[in-house]
Amino acid sequence: MKAIVVNQPGGADQLQVCEREKPEPKPGELLIKVKAAAINRTDIINREAKSGYLDLPILGIEVAGIVEVANTDTKIPAGTRVMGLVNGGGYAEYAVMPADRAMVIPDSLSYKQAAAIPEVFLTAYQTLFWLGELKENETALIHAGGSGVGTAAIQLAKQLAGARVITTAGSQEKLDFCRSLGADVEINYKEQDFDEKVLEATNGQGAAVILDFIGASYYRKNLASLQVDGRWVLIGLLGGAQLENINLMDLMMKRVQLKATLLTPRTDQYKAALTADFAGRALPLFEQNKLKPVIDTVFAMGDIQQAHQRMESNQNIGKIILNMDE
Amino acid sequence: MKAIVVNQPGGADQLQVCEREKPEPKPGELLIKVKAAAINRTDIINREAKSGYLDLPILGIEVAGIVEVANTDTKIPAGTRVMGLVNGGGYAEYAVMPADRAMVIPDSLSYKQAAAIPEVFLTAYQTLFWLGELKENETALIHAGGSGVGTAAIQLAKQLAGARVITTAGSQEKLDFCRSLGADVEINYKEQDFDEKVLEATNGQGAAVILDFIGASYYRKNLASLQVDGRWVLIGLLGGAQLENINLMDLMMKRVQLKATLLTPRTDQYKAALTADFAGRALPLFEQNKLKPVIDTVFAMGDIQQAHQRMESNQNIGKIILNMDE
């Protein structure tokens, strides 16, 4: 089968298509004929790192496709259209997936649309609800509103919690798109101090939940934007990791809950439980067209280098998809 | 009535007994003839601060006594022996208490024992279970094991969760006492690096929950002592608030949940819910003598200055009680 591997740790130019053995499903796993995969920042980290999260030389942590072999007694027979997280190996014509992580693709969605769902919607669901404990009518501050997780989080916060959504992005095009997804307040972080706008929009109270992909460079503004008893979920460090001059009393006075998280390195058991909870609550909303996968661009396997470059330049709105079907 | 007030913000020498009007219970409140109150660090902060948590000039946030007037339709009639948190005003012969915060004192306990329960057991309960989400067979690292909250937390972690308890203190006398309360591993932080001992005692895994009263000076060792997905509950800053050279990636890799909290400034509603949850689970264990209030010393109202000095010198094991009945 064709698969995309990393030649040497480094830039996008190190990605190449080559021939690999088809993987063998172990008990409890499905072998999937991959129709579409999606690009994630985790893939870039693994591409660059000498030791990544995953041992597999083939990148890719989510796929949509059709079950070819169901090496399991679960109710997902060969021929089923499924999507879900894989433990690496997604950028390939075939991949194996633990059966308890496979979600049946709603009939209304194509494989490309389905491949745009698992990682970002599961991450947004986990961070908003499992960690952020977002409740009805609370306010969520969702940074990087145009990103894959951002576009998923805006929709989930509105549709599942009826929350008020404030979002930040760096262009009017992205902000307009966030509004079309349901965001209530959009802030261009290049033009405005987002903490001032958040406090203005919340009568000085601040947001109950912050999804923070940024880290160090937003630390002070996020702290200022958080309400008392707020949950601050740290899921990325695009703005650096190093902090100086931190006063823990500030955290005490606001009774801050700072929860750092990563989805990819979590256990199979955790991913299965998260998938089941998400599928039960959110999949019906995809069928009703209340939740929408957001596709930025679609690349062929041979154009994987351009696909990674697009994500690295932060141009995308929503997901960058790899089409395996051409 | 006699009450203890702060002359001017400052040291223990600013505390004095004087005459004040008996408080009037509002609807939903009880007027309590106070038999015993207890000293808390919050009182010291309020004594020193120009603007404290509370507006009342009379210090004291917990009492045990007998209901004199029940200005409420609840089931706590005049004559009932009760204990609980008050919104200031505890160091006095009479105090008012929201009725939904009053716990009926188990018959087996004296008023002095009862006064040793509310603040420390509710704080320990809140931090271990509501915030720390301590589960059966997990390991809890409880600092300041000889303190009021420490002695309560050791007992609650053992009796309610069957947890493994590791505790730190600064003297052999305190450590021996922690063991008598049920602690499994005791560490003298003056003689040993507690993080090394915690890792040794947990096969390198670390603790699932840390109760941190210390803050800055323990930051690195607490981070090293925490397991992946651990909950780090920050409830005091005895070791300072100021941090430098913090790397958020360390928090991400361990998926740390850092939860800063204070009990006293929380809402009446929160305190009522916490009281109800605690009373349901823990009060029967006091009757069965499985949980024990820990009294360090008992002072008369006139000796309030010595009572505060004792807490400030960190000599106490358990609670310092103010006896109003002499």
Residues B37 and B153 in one domain: no
**Cβ contacts (< 8 Å) between A241 and chain B: which residues?**
247-249, 252
Whether residues B210 and B286 fall in one domain: no
Are residues B106 and B125 located together in one domain of the fold?
no
Q: Which domain holds residue B242?
A: 120-260
For residue A76, the tally of other CB atoms under 10 A from its CB is 17
The partner residue sitting opposite A256, judged by closest CB among B237, B244, B260, is B260
Question: In terms of domains, do B298 and B196 share one?
Answer: no
- Tokens representing A141 are 């501050």
CB contact under 8 A, B241 and A234: no
What is the CATH number for A98?
Answer: 3.90.180.10
Q: Which of A234, A260, A286 is the last residue of a domain?
A: A260
CB B177 within 8 A of CB B146: yes
Q: What are phi and psi of A257, to 5 degrees?
A: -110, 105
Q: Cα separation of B62 and B75, whole Å?
A: 21
Residue A264: its pLDDT value, please?
Answer: 83
Q: Which of A243, A256, A257 sits opposite B248 (nearest CB)?
A: A243
What pLDDT is attached to residue A124? 97
- CATH number for the domain harbouring residue B246: 3.40.50.720
Residues of chain A with a CB closer than 8 angstroms to some CB in chain B: 131, 215-216, 234, 237, 241-249, 251-262
Instruction: Tell whether A185 and A230 lie within a shared domain.
Output: yes
Same domain? For B163 and B97 the reply is: no
Q: Residue A247: list chain B partners with CB under 8 A.
A: 241-243
Question: CB of A57 within 8 A of CB of A19?
Answer: no
Q: CB-side exposure of B109: number of CA atoms within 13 Å?
A: 31
Local structure of residue B51 (DSSP, 8 states): S
A228 and A294: one domain? no
How confident is the model at residue B55, as a pLDDT?
Answer: 59
pLDDT at position A237 is 92
Query: Rounded to whole angstroms, what are the CA distances from A68 to A51, A64, A77, B264?
Result: 31, 12, 8, 60
Contact A310, A27 (CB under 8 A): no
User: Chain A residues with CB inside 8 Å of B245's CB?
Assistant: 242, 244
Q: How far apart are CA A255 and CA A226, in angstroms?
A: 10
Amino acid letter, residue A223: L
Q: Which of A241, A247, A248 sits opposite B247 (nearest CB)?
A: A241
Interface contact flag, B248 A254, Cβ < 8 Å: no
Angle at B39 between CA B34 and CA B44, to 5 degrees: 130
**Which residue numbers in chain A have pLDDT < 50?**
none
φ, ψ at B258 (rounded to 5°): -100, 115
**A246 to B247: CB separation less than 8 angstroms, yes or no:** no
Whether residues B254 and B311 fall in one domain: no
Structure tokens at B195: 């993080």
Option in A241, A245, A260 nearest B256 (CB): A260
Q: Sign (positive/negative) of CA torsion B130, B133, B136, B139?
A: negative
Backbone angles phi, psi at A154, to 5 degrees: -60, -45
Which residues are CB-neighbours of A284 under 8 A, at least 6 positions away?
none
Residue A252 and residue B245: Cβ atoms within 8 Å?
A: no
Q: What pLDDT is recorded for position B8?
A: 86
Q: How far is B128 from chain A (nearest CA, A)?
A: 15
Give the closest of B131, B215, B259 to A248, CB-based: B215
- Minimal-distance CA residue of chain A relative to B219: A248
Residues of B with CB under 8 A from a CB of A: 131, 215-216, 234, 237, 241-249, 251-262, 266
Co-location of B301 and B216 in the same domain: no
Amino acid identity at A5: V
Whether A239 and A285 map to the same domain: the answer is no
The span from the CA of B149 to the CA of B154, in Å, is 9
Give the domain-ending residue among A211, A229, A260.
A260
- The C-alpha atoms of residue B306 and residue B300 are separated, in whole angstroms, by 10
- Can you give the pLDDT at residue A326? 60
Answer with the one of B227, B260, B293 that is the final residue of a domain. B260
Same domain, B110 and B133: no
> Based on the domain organization, do A73 and A178 belong to the same domain?
no
Ranges of residues in chain B with a pLDDT under 50 are: none
**Interatomic CA distance for residues B322 and B43, integer angstroms:** 13
Round to whole Å and give the CA distance between B167 and B143: 5
Q: How far is B199 from chain A (nearest CA, A)?
A: 21
Domain count for chain A, please give it.
Answer: 2
The partner residues of B97 in beta bridges, in order of sequence, read B30
